[in-house]
């Protein structure tokens, strides 16, 4: 199983990306070593070793995507402090249960200069993250980690957190935006996506169902990819959920859904043979087996009733987000070729079609009494 835990390093050049920014954090300089980490695709990250041998993660935040960096770091501060307290009470090592960011000279967890916004966190020794295609085992462990994350934060008032990416999972707003783009056809691509547009328009009622149900607002992660779970290198035991930039008030079913959308599809999100897309029910089951027991003591009846609808909604929402961006001329997602967003749309549509056919099977798994003991 070890081949699934790859920790990619870009190599060492012994130069941090911004030395002046680094002097604002309480670390022993000069640095002994700098390694650029390349497995994240949004922020820029260095693994640095300080003069006293301590290792840290030094990051430049992508402020094009994360405009409210203060709100984001405040959310992260509240959440990591809470998880550390919870871990200490339940016998877990608080320093390995979540990220630990260092205060900068301005006493906040963020230092900004003319080049960007920076932060430093302690490197959690002897850990790796899940990379590459998930397996049933890694997906189950990821489910357990994300479920534990929600449970740890279930007594934290979600209204204390800023909505740093407003309306992120507001599906009706995403639909309205999509319909506007279809109407204005700004990149003149509508003809090449007619069938996809018609199919997704025919499912507007389905995609809007979840938004009509009143559900508890919780603190959620909102980017529940398996690569955001840190495990112990030796025991492979999951330790912490990382990449906390999208932590916001949200719905439990969204965190259940996005992992499944990402990892329980037969094909990758941008597989050109999109007609092979579909629900890998064993992978779905594996995630449910990890996630549901971890939240079983806090999940409400309404939340159980909407787990599957949440998955269907998130896949639908992602399909319209990709198609909207294709029709708009690729303004949000990075693309490598002109049909990239259309291909992504079709892998989501393939998954969605399959899920709509297998809804009863999915419901039976999500309601399996043995997961709620």
Binding site for ligand A2G (CB under 6 A): 65, 165, 246, 269, 318, 321
CB of 352 to ligand A2G, least distance (A): 15
State the maximum Cα–Cα separation within the chain, in Å, rounded to a whole number.
61
CB of 245 to ligand A2G, least distance (A): 8
Q: Whose Cβ is closer to ligand A2G: residue 65's or residue 160's?
A: 65
Q: Whose Cβ is closer to ligand A2G: residue 80's or residue 246's?
A: 246
CB of 317 to ligand A2G, least distance (A): 9
Q: Whose Cβ is closer to ligand A2G: residue 151's or residue 221's?
A: 221
CB 231 within 8 A of CB 5: yes
Residue 327 in tokens: 């029709």
CB of 165 to ligand A2G, least distance (A): 6
* Gap between the Cα atoms of 352 and 323, Å rounded: 14
Q: Which residue has the tokens 């309306």?
A: 167
Q: Whose Cβ is closer to ligand A2G: residue 22's or residue 314's?
A: 314
Q: Whose Cβ is closer to ligand A2G: residue 1's or residue 41's?
A: 41
Quick one: CA torsion of 111, 114, 115, 116, rounded to 10 degrees? 40
Q: Which residue has the tokens 């899940």?
A: 130
* Rounded (10°) angle between helices 281-295 and 136-152: 30
Q: Whose Cβ is closer to ligand A2G: residue 95's or residue 270's?
A: 270
Which residue intervals of the chain are DSSP H helices?
19-22, 69-89, 94-97, 136-152, 171-184, 194-202, 204-208, 252-263, 281-295, 301-305, 307-328, 340-357, 359-366
* Rounded (10°) angle between helices 340-357 and 359-366: 70
CB of 270 to ligand A2G, least distance (A): 9
CB of 133 to ligand A2G, least distance (A): 15
């Amino acid at each position: 199983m070890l081949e699934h835990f790859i920790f990619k390093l870009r190599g060492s050049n012994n130069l941090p990306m911004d030395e002046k920014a680094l002097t604002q954090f309480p670390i022993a300089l000069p640095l002994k070593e700098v390694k650029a980490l390349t497995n994240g695709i949004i922020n820029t990250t260095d693994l640095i070793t300080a003069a006293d041998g301590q290792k840290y993660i030094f990051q430049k935040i992508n402020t094009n995507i994360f405009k409210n960096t203060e709100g984001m770091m405040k959310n992260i501060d509240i959440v990591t402090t809470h998880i550390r307290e919870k871990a200490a009470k339940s016998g877990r090592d608080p320093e390995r249960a979540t990220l630990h960011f260092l205060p900068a000279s301005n006493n906040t967890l963020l230092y900004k200069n003319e080049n960007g916004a920076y932060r430093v966190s302690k490197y959690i020794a002897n850990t790796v993250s899940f990379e590459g295609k998930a397996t049933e085992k890694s997906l189950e462990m990821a489910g357990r980690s994300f479920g534990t994350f929600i449970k740890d934060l279930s007594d934290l008032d979600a209204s204390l957190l800023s909505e740093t990416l407003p309306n992120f999972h507001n599906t009706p707003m995403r639909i309205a935006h999509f319909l506007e783009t279809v109407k204005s056809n700004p990149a003149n691509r509508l003809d090449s996506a007619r069938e996809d547009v018609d199919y997704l328009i025919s499912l507007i009622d389905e995609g809007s169902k979840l938004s009509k149900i009143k559900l508890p607002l919780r603190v959620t992660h909102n980017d529940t990819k398996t690569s955001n779970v840190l495990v112990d290198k030796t025991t492979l035991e999951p330790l912490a959920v990382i990449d906390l930039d999208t932590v916001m008030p949200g719905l439990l079913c969204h965190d259940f859904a996005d992992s499944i959308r990402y990892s329980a599809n037969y094909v990758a999100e941008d597989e050109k043979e999109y007609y092979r897309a579909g629900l890998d029910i064993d992978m779905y089951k594996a995630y449910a087996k990890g996630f549901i027991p971890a939240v079983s003591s806090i999940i409400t009846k309404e939340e159980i009733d909407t787990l599957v609808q949440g998955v269907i909604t998130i896949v639908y929402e992602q399909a319209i987000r990709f198609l909207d961006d294709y029709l708009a001329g690729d303004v949000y997602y990075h693309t490598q070729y002109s049909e990239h967003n259309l291909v992504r749309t079709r892998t989501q549509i393939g998954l969605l079609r399959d899920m709509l056919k297998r809804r009863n099977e999915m419901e039976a798994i999500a309601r399996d009494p043995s997961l709620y003991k």
